[in-house]
Chain A
């Protein structure tokens, strides 16, 4: 993995099955009707995992920073297109970190959300979640 590496794009459907677990995890405060806006963090988290899958990151990776920008709402049943690029890989003594920028678009390629996530890779003293 290197800076500038483009991750293979993925398609994602906002399915009530996985969304149900998201609402359960975060709390029942969201009305999960089909017309409700799906939380951007739910989509960003799911899209991120799908995009990172080809990298086969080791267990022990920890999230150190996250930026999630909601541009337009997505709804249950929507098909989404997710793109990602590695914007930074930092290797110093005792530290290895990676930043990934993702964009999630609607089926008509309208931007729905943008996110940037930084991770600390295992092999050094882990601290964050």
Chain B
């Protein structure tokens, strides 16, 4: 279900509904099966501790999946033909961590044929920043919901 009703509601300073989630080892394993990424730092706690982590860590692409999910929920199908994410992973996420993702509209550029929305994205685990980046959505005029 798309939350955004029309482009006119998107303004600089708007905040998308926050995303909160506790990451579990089961979800990390499911992501490993989905992607084929069975790197031992994701599934073998003993190995992960040997290479300086507290235990297994979530895949970066799983975290990116959460960020994409949040934006897809808000922007709907528009996201699949014009959405992009550019993020840096700052700290590892371990099973049991609760992550909070925020996305704030930083600018809306209105062109003759399209509209581009930029959002500052930041995620934390309650203490530390785990991810920062930019989400961008380019909407062609013919695709846009009523203005």
Across the interface, which residues of B come within 8 angstroms of A73, CB to CB? 77, 80-81
Interface string of B48-65 (1 = CB under 8 A from A): 000111000111111111
Total interface residues in chain A, CB < 8 Å: 43
Total interface residues in chain B, CB < 8 Å: 48
Cα A67 to Cα B41 with chains together (Å): 22
Contact of A66 with B81 at beta-carbon distance under 8 Å, contacts A22-B34, A128-B89 already known: no
Q: Are A30 and B69 in contact (CB under 8 A)?
A: yes
Q: Are B51 and A37 in contact (CB under 8 A)?
A: no
Residue of A at shortest CB range from B35? A45
Q: Are B30 and A25 in contact (CB under 8 A)?
A: yes
Interface string of A45-78 (1 = CB under 8 A from B): 1101110000000011111111111111100000
Tell me whether chain A's interface is mostly helix, strand or loop, or mixed: mixed
Q: Are A25 and B92 in contact (CB under 8 A)?
A: no
Cα A43 to Cα B31 with chains together (Å): 12
Contact of A66 with B64 at beta-carbon distance under 8 Å, contacts A18-B33, A25-B31, A126-B53 already known: yes
- The listed residue (B27, B34, B79) touching A18 by CB distance below 8 A is B34
Interface string of B5-49 (1 = CB under 8 A from A): 000000000000000010000011011011111011100000100
Interface CB pairs A-B, < 8 A, 8: A22-B65, A26-B27, A46-B35, A49-B35, A62-B41, A63-B61, A67-B85, A128-B60
Q: Which A residues form the contact surface with B (CB < 8 A)? A: 18-22, 24-27, 29-30, 37, 39-42, 44-46, 48-50, 59-73, 122, 125-129
